[in-house]
Amino acid sequence: MPNVPTDIEIAQRAKPRPIVDVAREIGLSPDDLDLYGKYKAKVPLEISSRPPRGRLVLVTGINPTAAGEGKSTVTVGVTQAFRRLGVNAVLCIREPSLGPVFGVKGGAAGGGFAQVIPMEDINLHFTGDFHAISSAHALLSAMIDNHLHQGNALGLDPRRISWPRTIDMNDRALRDCVIGLGGVANGVAREERWVIIPASEVMAIVALATSRQDLEERLGRIIVGATAGAKRTPVRARDLKAAGAMTLLLKDAIRPNLVQTLEGGPAFVHAGPFGNIAHGCNSILATKSALALADIVITEAGFGSDLGAEKFLDIKCRFGGLTPEAAALVATVRALKLNGGADKKQLGTEDLGALERGLPNLDKHIENVRQFGLPVVVALNRFVTDSDRELTMVADRARAAGARIALTEVWEKGGAGGEELAREIQAVLAERQGRYAPLYDAARPIKEKIDTIVRKVYGGDGAAYAPKADRAIEYLEAIGLGGTPVCMAKTQYSLSDDATKLGRPTGFHVTINDVYPSAGAGFVVAQAGDIMTMPGLPKEPAAERMAIQADGQIVGLF
């Protein structure tokens, strides 16, 4: 068997183009760029306000499994394919979080011959956006506790502080803590929790802001807690006079980052909220900048259509005034067989029975995207172990569900392996059948919106509410947050809130354990099941395999 290079080995062998040359191809001059070395740059916010010329395509997927789907890889690869076909296409994806990089993933910049580079930089500190977001978040945390220490003029109840602290690492020990110990000089003792940076409301705000002014207004609206007593008046970041300084810390982080694909095409990599606990989309500013500079813009939303795509279409597009026209839905034979009950150790063996049992998962994800008014192309990400009969079965099922189908081999072949998918997307765009519309009216009551998502997107029979969630919804609607979109936080592994229910489960209710405000971002979060906002490291973290050699070369990222 030939020696297959790792992702980082492929990336390190590439010869990147100077970013000024990449930028020139989309009409940007060197004066438009703030360079971070030779291969990374920040672009001006002004570009995002130019009239759009491009057409927006979303890449989503079926529910992820341990078998892998390669959604990010397909997103990069099809953008490379468009440029091979002579189309001015630009990629828009999120920035990786250090937590998953050092935890399970080991890297999150695509894979094989469909990556964004410089891969090491993007996976590590990049242009410092995450650090700026962490600092802005930490500043607000510090100002809250200082306010308590200095007399608490706002009457903030230490037991009702909802603003957590943050760190960009998987660290389960920080989920629930006590701070302020050691006496009067060390502040007010109280309970505290940490969330990972992609779950920070500041991250969600950076991704949804449309200008620096909008950023500051959103930061000021953040609810950090409530006053004591029955009234529970919300206390916001603007009440602590924190929004201006937070905006200052984010003045560069809000600007989109320009890098390149492995084949030298332009790519905006900006912001990184998770798709299971946040809205899971790259920034509005990056997407609008790309639409002003390209003919086709390819963007990705986190996890499957039930999470990232629903939030992209119900939250990001609503706030950004974006109109997507088509979607690619990434699937693999292996993942569908796993959804059908196949042994994960036997996924390389033909199993038409398990595949047939898993295909309803594909059906539901096609249905999900189409109900937002978008035509669908199924991107069947091919593995060498897939049999022709298995591939044909998936293709026939996709067509029967009203979708187009294209095989992709971008991991192995780069852009050349995505040309079939690119042509199918071109054909869909040429038909101009896209009629995008959000799924619900944001002005409707919170429970009605949650019920709509559960029934129409997950295929469930509705939602059940814990007493805590009932009380939270009543409070949020009383303080004027009832008329916002809902950001669902649930497991990515199932259409339900139970990760063990694979395929297309029916007859279930989603249990909402809590609902809390993300007032600066502009939505409320409904937390289902046992979803966590601070992951833990696995038994063998990816970090154990990482090192830097004597010559400065990094190993272990993959």
Q: pLDDT tens digits for 423-444? A: 999 999 999 999 999 999 999 9
Look at residues 19, 541, 45 and name the one whose alpha carbon lies nearest to residue 256: 45
- Banded model confidence at residue 104, pLDDT cuts 50, 70, 90: confident
pLDDT over 90 for what percent of the chain?
94
Which of the following CATH numbers is that of domain 446-528: 3.40.50.2300, 3.30.70.980, 3.10.410.10, 3.40.50.300?
3.10.410.10
Look at residues 197, 193, 204, 202 and name the one whose alpha carbon lies nearest to residue 161: 193
Ranges of each domain in the chain: 7-13+51-118+257-431, 129-249, 446-528
Name the CATH superfamily for 129-249.
Answer: Domain 2, N(10)-formyltetrahydrofolate synthetase (3.30.1510.10)
Tokens representing 245 are 């300084």
Alpha helices in 299-342 (DSSP H): 310-311, 317-320, 333-339
Look at residues 532, 526, 530 and name the one whose alpha carbon lies nearest to residue 472: 526
Please say if the pLDDT value at position 20 is more than 60.
yes
- d(CA 205, CA 243) in angstroms, rounded, equals 12
Mean pLDDT of the chain: 96
The whole-model pTM stands at 0.96
Count how many residues are written for the chain: 558
A 10 A CB-CB count for 525 gives 21
Please say if the pLDDT value at position 117 is more than 90.
yes
- d(CA 164, CA 481) in angstroms, rounded, equals 20
How far lies 409's CA from each of 45, 74, 88, 403, in Å? 35, 8, 21, 19
The fold adopted by the segment(s) 7-13+51-118+257-431 is Rossmann fold (3.40.50)
Query: Which pLDDT score, from 0 to 100, does residue 229 have?
Result: 86
pLDDT tens-digit series, residues 501-530:
999 999 999 999 999 999 999 999 999 988
- d(CA 489, CA 201) in angstroms, rounded, equals 13
- d(CA 306, CA 368) in angstroms, rounded, equals 7
A 10 A CB-CB count for 105 gives 17
- d(CA 21, CA 17) in angstroms, rounded, equals 7
